[in-house]
Structure 1
């Protein structure tokens, strides 16, 4: 069955996660992705040996698990774009592509002569997507940056100050991945503009800008009220019905009951505290706010009497109560709601066997999306691409190898 982006070709010149994550998802949608990697060096994530302080258990310097996790759906060509012959190969290939995505700084792409002004001469309809740390303009646009820099500069690190007492990052490259999702939106909009208006164009996304956008509600209210809005410690939350509680066995359950005045009677019945429904300290939202710490302390003890799964079954009978089990990461892949909606994908990935990863969480009813192929070995498709797309001969390829243009 045809996928939404069948026929779209994307040439990626990018490393790490902010950017490669975008092409990974565009590949799920059917786009053909060719990834350029520097000979002898490659994408640095291929050799990543630790992540969040944990060993990656790499079986090969060419394909570590952090690399394969972000590079499915791609073919790989090694190409030394610092040399004129390598640049000429890109110039010969680029007319066959709809999108060129890169995440190097302006000075790097200028030196490589792979900037938008150069490539658009060979393909005026090209969508050229830049992914940077801090944005294309401003006094610091030239600086290097990464996930951590984006979390810091955007103010995201301070959003948890009320809980941990100091700035803190969220792990798992969340800023890099948010940037990739924003980049997907930008590329799709640019492709639509080309179809409707007949124009190619350069677009820019950044890690910092993506993390600012992610905080729309928090930052918009912070700007309006001119005071920091941060997540409070759970013991100090004003509405105890928008809180999470530890259950017997150590797992947690979370609630977000905004219409607490209406749902309070149901909540009392569900958790077995009917005696508190008319208690003067808790009978309405105003007094519950005044005595929130007392109610939180009571609920802390109540929820410890049953396991999380037992509470989920009991509370699930009350349809007006908004709640969820607080899943640990390892539990997500087996949560039936997540599995049934295909938010997790499974595919065969050498040399790791069958692996699970996150899918692009949009369901296309008439043109379903999904993984096309596993991540490539280093330079796996170099000869194929040069011959089939570049029109080069085997003699040309032998000469490129001799000159170090390709591996």
Structure 2
């Protein structure tokens, strides 16, 4: 069985990461995605040269573009030419969703704004990925992932024991912006099923990253202050902390109700004397947390992590797990069991390990396996089979450098 969006057609006029990932997520759910690329150079993501060392993989393929554009069909157009815009208008008339992530005003100047496309198809969902939202003094400013992290406050929320802003690699503002844009498109499609009308959707770096940090933001708005950037050495609850083990691997504890576990925990780690230690009673433990963390550091450093995992599993009902690196994830048995990564036989690159579906649907699961298109690979197919252009039309437009 296919995905829940089988039969939905999406026009993807996006570049880099935030927009492309949103449409790829929808493609994973079964939507047909037709990616419009600039006729001469294509999505600039195709040319990214540095990512985790090098972005180029076998045969000159680009890791970054492959990661963000699975399943899609690519058509290459010169949108500065009226004939190129006419092709997009004809696509919009027979599609469900139009997605773009260019600076405010670009689409309108080219005749590809919502006001231009909605008369052609009143049911169309017009989705925009922006930096700072559709309104306000900075709504027209350009943004990349780095600026999304900077403006949203997260660079001053992550990291511990420092006042220096910390950037998180991997494009998380782009990823979160993509998730929220896809969420908005799904909501708009559902609303259209009930009302029959299309609408505009906007998801920004700023709004999406604020949503990601929702509890921290609301702590500021309701309580007056955000969560502090504390170090693990002075965490108020030592049973909500992480510890280095003898093999230099880390274990994380997450016992939010420490009194519930305190007696059993002390016995299991071989420190029963801590149970009645006046420094660490329920009322005093938080005030003396730093001293307790020093003790627990010594305890956990005495055994390798696997041994601690076995001890905690077999001798109590504790809440804990390993601290992974990103490099650990592909081999994590829990990741494999849930197919959060999947194997795919790429037609050009051979076997690849790709991100799987983060959400499980039992009847319409979707399909995360797929590959990105060659530049302009589907231009003629889309024009002739979907839009009704003749082969003479295609030849004329190609000769005129429109496609």
Q: Give the Å deviation of 1:33.
A: 0.8
CA distance in 2 between partners of 1:174 and 1:30 (Å): 24
CA distance in 2 between partners of 1:125 and 1:82 (Å): 26
Q: Contact between 2:268 and 2:311, CA under 8 Å: does it hold in 1?
A: yes
Aligned match of 2:388: 391
Match of 2:348 among 344, 351, 366: 351
CA distance in 2 between partners of 1:214 and 1:106 (Å): 24
- For the pair 1:297 / 2:297, whether they are aligned, the reply is no
Q: Contact between 1:5 and 1:30, CA under 8 Å: does it hold in 2?
A: yes
Q: How does 1:231-250 map to 2 (within 5 A)?
A: 231-250=229-248
CA distance in 1 between partners of 2:282 and 2:343 (Å): 46
Aligned match of 2:154: 156
Aligned match of 1:261: 259
Once the two structures are superposed, residues 246-279 of structure 1 have per-residue CA deviations (whole angstroms, 9 ceiling, x without a partner) of 1122111111111100111222233222232222
- For the pair 1:57 / 2:56, whether they are aligned, the reply is yes
TM-score (norm 2): 0.96
5+ long unaligned stretches in structure 2:
none
CA distance in 2 between partners of 1:109 and 1:369 (Å): 31
Aligned match of 1:202: 200
Larger displacement relative to structure 2 (342-351 or 173-182) = 342-351
CA distance in 1 between partners of 2:379 and 2:216 (Å): 46
> What secondary structure sits across from 1:19 in the alignment?
helix
Q: Contact between 2:74 and 2:375, CA under 8 Å: does it hold in 1?
A: yes
CA distance in 2 between partners of 1:171 and 1:318 (Å): 38
Match of 2:397 among 375, 393, 400: 400
Aligned match of 2:176: 178
Label 1:106 to 1:147 Cα distance change in 2 as closer, same or farther (>3 A): same
Match of 1:92 among 87, 90, 93: 90
Match of 2:322 among 320, 325, 328: 325
CA distance in 1 between partners of 2:198 and 2:385 (Å): 25
Aligned match of 1:43: 43
Larger displacement relative to structure 2 (251-260 or 366-375) = 366-375
Match of 2:145 among 138, 144, 147: 147
Q: Contact between 1:347 and 1:371, CA under 8 Å: does it hold in 2?
A: no
CA distance in 1 between partners of 2:282 and 2:167 (Å): 33
Q: Give the Å deviation of 1:350.
A: 4.5
TM-score (norm 1): 0.95
- For the pair 1:190 / 2:188, whether they are aligned, the reply is yes
CA distance in 2 between partners of 1:141 and 1:60 (Å): 40
Q: Give the Å deviation of 1:7.
A: 0.5
Q: Contact between 1:270 and 1:315, CA under 8 Å: does it hold in 2?
A: yes
Label 1:318 to 1:109 Cα distance change in 2 as closer, same or farther (>3 A): farther
CA distance in 1 between partners of 2:285 and 2:251 (Å): 20
- For the pair 1:361 / 2:376, whether they are aligned, the reply is no
Label 1:155 to 1:372 Cα distance change in 2 as closer, same or farther (>3 A): same
Q: Give the Å deviation of 1:323.
A: 0.9
Aligned match of 1:79: 77
CA RMSD in angstroms, aligned pairs only: 1.5
Q: Give the Å deviation of 1:184.
A: 1.3
Q: Give the Å deviation of 1:142.
A: 0.5
Label 1:277 to 1:352 Cα distance change in 2 as closer, same or farther (>3 A): farther
Aligned length: 403
> What secondary structure sits across from 2:283 in the alignment?
helix
CA distance in 2 between partners of 1:87 and 1:273 (Å): 73
CA distance in 1 between partners of 2:317 and 2:197 (Å): 50
> What secondary structure sits across from 2:99 in the alignment?
strand
- For the pair 1:381 / 2:378, whether they are aligned, the reply is yes
Q: Give the Å deviation of 1:58.
A: 4.3
CA distance in 2 between partners of 1:286 and 1:167 (Å): 34
5+ long unaligned stretches in structure 1:
none
CA distance in 2 between partners of 1:163 and 1:59 (Å): 42
CA distance in 2 between partners of 1:348 and 1:37 (Å): 25
CA distance in 1 between partners of 2:342 and 2:185 (Å): 23
Q: Give the Å deviation of 1:171.
A: 1.1
Aligned match of 1:371: 368
Q: Give the Å deviation of 1:204.
A: 0.8
CA distance in 2 between partners of 1:225 and 1:162 (Å): 22
Q: Give the Å deviation of 1:291.
A: 1.4
